[in-house]
Structure 1
């Protein structure tokens, strides 16, 4: 008799776990609450699916248990992922280390996984909601509902790959957290990550739609915590863009802990303060005869320039000639250290992932097996591991899914 492995969640991690368990000789049953597997994959990489990244480093994976993810990544990383997908017919297109399917269609990745699952004769049950997992002497009893009817199945091993609370419209509603808690696992507080930040100041309505190169630094109770640089997007409610996404987990955690959270925006990050102040002084000389609403022409979008001047009380009609030393220093500070207070993040529904999840101190990083319940495994976003933008969250799904599938089949 083959060992039966039941996988709860048919996303990226669950699909990888199912294929790996089957390749290692297990009888695999995959339970998915959506009507198709891998639904969330369709939204990754803006519909193009950035499925991994050539550059791998411990800093790309965040967790309260530092080092956990990196130990796992060392066992199944980008080369193994690329090889795996080539075997499914998905060839990588390399864009500065960011790997996409050659067609740049996320649907290709989802369909390749689905085809592989069918070829492996893995039984897939969709529209299934699991509400109970009970450890038994020789395995587990799973309680589920489908089409309003309840049922039970049993298996020797269970892989919990039910996703997080992010983007519930794509099917992962956080129900897996409750299952983990029922089995004795602790949760690191779950907050939105890779998400926009909502700011207190009213001036954002004036600059909505502006995109600009810049650096964002987040401070928690006055302590600099994280920063990133790239294209900032200013919205009518606050700040967005890849750099904001990268630091959003820290802002979200600070807000959860009821701490003061603010960010500093540097709109000229390629220049130091002294260097930029000198540039402003030179502009005063060169642009003598103009007025202040023309002073930032060529440096900033007009809407942003107007907001910066308004913030420090300089009229757009003031002659550039009248700029004194004090106002030049104030202009330098506002352009390089624009402080904005963060009141909240956008909700889970708009977050790409979550920070927090099942505490990884209770998980074996080599196999993804629970240290509390023998035969129970975890994979993917349900764990307290979140990657930065760039294919790292999918890499974590492939890595943890592979290790869980192999571990469950061979234990």
Structure 2
């Protein structure tokens, strides 16, 4: 039996290794547009390779039907992943947070060991090979590049992801292949990405970073709250809390909803107590400018912008600030609202949302319900995980089920 795998990322690699271990007689050809396998694996976790998470449920994913992945997460849970890693010589560093890294702390060690496993199993790789067309004639598949065609495949796996990180040759051509075979897909969008805001304060807050509580409002309704780093940028906001909240934010932007975020700079202090502390500060040094005194509790970049929002002149002395103005200052610090107008785009996104509709794919084999012998795995499907190794774990798990199906193990 001849099998073609389009995309040598986590899902494609896992499918190839699993299938060949179960059935040595399979001929598997692995195609990828890059010079080497696993480019997105290398980029995960800021280059440290956050390859999984030890605490995973379907609640860590969004999509049209996140429960679609329950079977995959059960069949290939974290223990199964850890066992697989040991089988290729890879030891893991499991953090208290649940994030999982290679014990070597080097992403390259992961792809090196995966590459050795593929070579040992005689999986043929065709790198720097961009597949632009797939056809099915009778029971066989044909795949094509601009210069060449590869014939007589019994099965094809589409696992070449979506548009996140185009600098790594990412594209949405997998959706073109899916559409050609009658599949539908949900609109794609950048996920785990910085957010562009309507007001950027002319870049005056650029570089300010603080741990904050971030609230997401969709059409005025509170939808999500996350605590973590917020980084102000020239285009809006970034940081871990923003990346996390971006998933629902950008998803709602794609359907033209009103999206706002609220930033609480002091989540451990309620608004009234914060107002009292500011008032006490002002009384301590009444003859100093309020803008200077505020730098005792917030960044010196935030203070002038804060007073401007509250319509207080920058030359105003602390003794001249009244109770109403102090309440306005504390309110702003407690709920700094920003209207989200866009994301930074796929070029800066860690993952892509949307994709092939899971209703059209078997959740136990990941074979198309429409075309026999056609399979999908990983990011090309309408499943996207939270930050922290969840997307790679879904890629490993879905690839495993495809490989199991290829190996004809029931």
* TM-score exceeds 0.5: yes
Instruction: Name the counterpart of 2:170.
Output: 172
CA distance in 2, matches of 1:361, 1:397: 18
Write the deviation string for residues 180-210 of structure 1: whole angstroms up to 9, x where unpaired.
Answer: 1111111111011111111111415101011
What is the CA distance between 1:286 and its match in structure 2? 4.3
Q: Tell whether 2:78 aligns with 1:78.
A: yes
CA distance in 2, matches of 1:211, 1:229: 13
**Alignment match of 1:381 (pick from 364, 379, 384):** 379
Write the deviation string for residues 313-362 of structure 1: whole angstroms up to 9, x where unpaired.
Answer: 22333222333221121112110111111221112111111110111111
- Taking only aligned residues, the RMSD between alpha carbons, in angstroms, comes to 1.8
Instruction: Name the counterpart of 2:277.
Output: 279
Instruction: Name the counterpart of 2:115.
Output: 114
Preserved CA contact (<8 Å) 1:292 1:315: no
Instruction: Name the counterpart of 1:187.
Output: 185
CA distance in 2, matches of 1:275, 1:19: 59
Preserved CA contact (<8 Å) 1:58 1:70: yes
CA distance in 1, matches of 2:194, 2:236: 8
Write the deviation string for residues 38-92 of structure 1: whole angstroms up to 9, x where unpaired.
Answer: 1222211111101111222332111111311233212212221122112222211
Preserved CA contact (<8 Å) 1:40 1:171: no
Q: Tell whether 2:64 aligns with 1:69.
A: no
**Alignment match of 2:349 (pick from 332, 351, 366):** 351
Gaps of 5+ in 2: none
Equivalent runs, 1:2-401 vs 2, <5 Å: 3-25=1-23, 26-96=26-96, 97-138=98-139, 140-145=140-145, 148-203=146-201, 205-401=203-399
Write the deviation string for residues 355-404 of structure 1: whole angstroms up to 9, x where unpaired.
Answer: 10111111122221212222221111101111111111111111111111
What is the CA distance between 1:126 and its match in structure 2? 1.4
CA distance in 1, matches of 2:5, 2:318: 67
Write the deviation string for residues 75-115 of structure 1: whole angstroms up to 9, x where unpaired.
Answer: 21222112211222221123322111112111111111111
Preserved CA contact (<8 Å) 2:200 2:236: no
Change (3 A) 1:394 1:297: same
The alignment's TM-score, normalised by the length of structure 1, stands at 0.94
Preserved CA contact (<8 Å) 2:66 2:383: no
What is the CA distance between 1:255 and its match in structure 2? 2.2
Gaps of 5+ in 1: none
Is the partner of 1:404 in helix, strand or coil? helix
Is the partner of 1:128 in helix, strand or coil? coil
CA distance in 2, matches of 1:99, 1:202: 35
CA distance in 2, matches of 1:198, 1:184: 35
Preserved CA contact (<8 Å) 2:141 2:155: no
Preserved CA contact (<8 Å) 2:134 2:144: no
Write the deviation string for residues 91-143 of structure 1: whole angstroms up to 9, x where unpaired.
Answer: 112332211111211111111111110011111111222233333443x3222
Is the partner of 2:353 in helix, strand or coil? strand
What is the CA distance between 1:287 and its match in structure 2? 4.7
Preserved CA contact (<8 Å) 2:264 2:334: yes
What is the CA distance between 1:288 and its match in structure 2? 4.1
Preserved CA contact (<8 Å) 1:197 1:244: yes
CA distance in 1, matches of 2:69, 2:280: 50
The number of residue pairs the alignment matches comes to: 406
Preserved CA contact (<8 Å) 1:6 1:29: yes
Preserved CA contact (<8 Å) 1:141 1:154: yes
